[in-house]
Amino acid sequence: MKKLMMAATLAALTFGAAQAVNIDWTSPSVTGSQTIGSYGDGTVFALTATLSVPGDNNKDLFRLGNGDGASTNYIKVAKNLNDKQEGILKFWAKGAGGNEQGVATSQTVGPSNYTISLVVDQRNNQSVITLFVNGANVGGLTLTQDLSAPITTLVFNNGGLANVTVYTAEADEDIYAIAQEASKTGEVLPEPTALALLALGVAGVALRRRVA
């Protein structure tokens, strides 16, 4: 029985977990870029990282996408100022052929490290971008146009990104819940529903063994 429970525990840690690609990329002092895969129309993915914020303001921190040109798709996160002259996280996005849209988040930031998850949901013929910081949903943006070209590149500008992970959810998983949890811990964990289903299965196996 103990062996059965140990096997169930190991399975619980893997069953239902999002598919992740760990970039493991740290670039604290130089500009650089990293290929993250190809995430286009109809896909949903999340990027989780430790974000090191500089002390000065009005700085682009990182960008998803190949550039700010008129024909490219991108999402960029920056440290700007709110009306109280405090540093805040703000992000912009633009789909090909559309206009840039931006939103200031509720998250004030200083020269420190923050764990973030940026969700890019390109389902339902629209692009929804949501930012989680340290377990809190701090802002969202719905584009009036799709990010029609695939997102393939992560570009570092200022500050620093460490332990970057890009992941997609399995069928029926709530990627927003997963991203929120990942922004607390930096780790992608199985959803409670997946664990509950697995527990029922294990209970059934144990009962069958007892009856036999």
CATH number for position 174: 2.60.120.560
Query: Hey, what are 188's tokens?
Result: 């992608």
Same structural domain, 55 and 159 = yes
Residues sharing a CB contact under 8 Å with residue 7, sequence separation 6 or more, in sequence order: none
**pTM of structure:** 0.79
Same structural domain, 2 and 106 = no
Nearest-angstrom CA–CA distance, 165 and 138: 20
Same structural domain, 86 and 8 = no
Query: What is the model's pLDDT at position 92?
Result: 92
Q: Which residues pair with 47 in a beta bridge?
A: 118, 166
Number of domains comprising the chain: 2
Same structural domain, 123 and 97 = yes
Query: What is the model's pLDDT at position 91?
Result: 93
The model's pLDDT over 155-184, given as tens digits with 9 standing for 90+, comes to 877 667 888 899 888 878 899 999 999 999
Query: What is the model's pLDDT at position 209?
Result: 54
In 43-112, beta strands by DSSP E: 44-52, 59-65, 74-81, 87-94, 101-108
Residue 196 belongs to domain spanning: 1-16+190-212
Q: Which strands form 32-39's sheet, in the order they lie side by side?
A: 32-39, 151-156, 59-65, 74-81, 87-94, 101-108
Same structural domain, 111 and 201 = no
Q: Which strands form 113-121's sheet, in the order they lie side by side?
A: 19-22, 160-168, 44-52, 113-121, 127-133, 136-143
Query: What is the model's pLDDT at position 28?
Result: 43
Are the C-beta atoms of 56 and 154 separated by less than 8 Å? no
Taking the CA atoms of 140, 143, 144 and 146 in sequence, report the sign of the dihedral they define: negative
Same structural domain, 65 and 165 = yes
Pairing of strands 160-168, 44-52: antiparallel
Same structural domain, 24 and 127 = yes
Same structural domain, 47 and 110 = yes
Nearest-angstrom CA–CA distance, 115 and 107: 12
Query: What is the model's pLDDT at position 10?
Result: 33
Same structural domain, 183 and 196 = no
3-class DSSP state of 126: coil
Same structural domain, 54 and 65 = yes
Same structural domain, 210 and 162 = no
